[in-house]
Amino acid sequence: MNVNSARALTAAGMLLASTAVGMIDTSDNSSARVMPRVCGFYAIDPPRGELTGYYNHCGDSFILIKLHWDTGSSYTVCVPPWGQNPFYKDGPHKVVNAYYVTTPPNVSGPPGNQWCSTGQPNS
């Protein structure tokens, strides 16, 4: 085989290999491991099943976040350090925004082993 034929076959093989790699279907979970963590609220559009969004807390403290539904109602949720809150559909309705509020959350447990209490202040 001459040099030009070997180069042509190598180029064709590389083209086929790169095309095949591009066709591999990766799940969102594997891409999430590669992507940096997004802090705060983000919507998933289009939704993945019933999952419509997340709130990621990127900090070492407990915080309170306020959620707003597309119906106009809202409520607060405690988020633990470095915690993630998923948001799911409630029938046809979904959470459209979530953000940090300065009101401290209610926490329970001894120092160093605390968790979010069931009841949280409305802010």
Residue range 54-92, pLDDT digits in tens: 999 999 999 999 999 999 999 999 999 999 999 999 999
- If you search the block for the tokens 């106009």, which residue do you land on? 72
Q: Mean pLDDT over residues 33-45, rounded?
A: 78
What pLDDT, on a 0 to 100 scale, did the predictor assign at position 49? 92
What pLDDT, on a 0 to 100 scale, did the predictor assign at position 67? 95
The residue type at 18: S
User: What φ, ψ does residue 15 adopt, rounded to 5°?
Assistant: -65, -45
The DSSP element (H or E) to which 33 belongs, if any, is: helix 28-34
Q: Is the pLDDT of residue 109 over 50?
A: yes
- CATH of span 27-116: 2.60.40
What pLDDT, on a 0 to 100 scale, did the predictor assign at position 70? 95
The residue type at 27: S
Q: Which among 90, 33, 36, 34 has a CA at the least distance from the CA of 67?
A: 90
Which pLDDT band, with edges at 50, 70 and 90, does 3 fall under?
Answer: low
Distance CA(95)–CA(70), nearest Å, equals 6
Higher pLDDT, 83 or 17: 83
The DSSP element (H or E) to which 20 belongs, if any, is: helix 3-22
**Hey, CA dihedral for 21, 25, 30, 34, is it positive or negative?**
positive
The first and second tokens of residue 82, run together, are: 């470095």
Q: Is the pLDDT of residue 26 over 50?
A: no
What pLDDT, on a 0 to 100 scale, did the predictor assign at position 102? 96
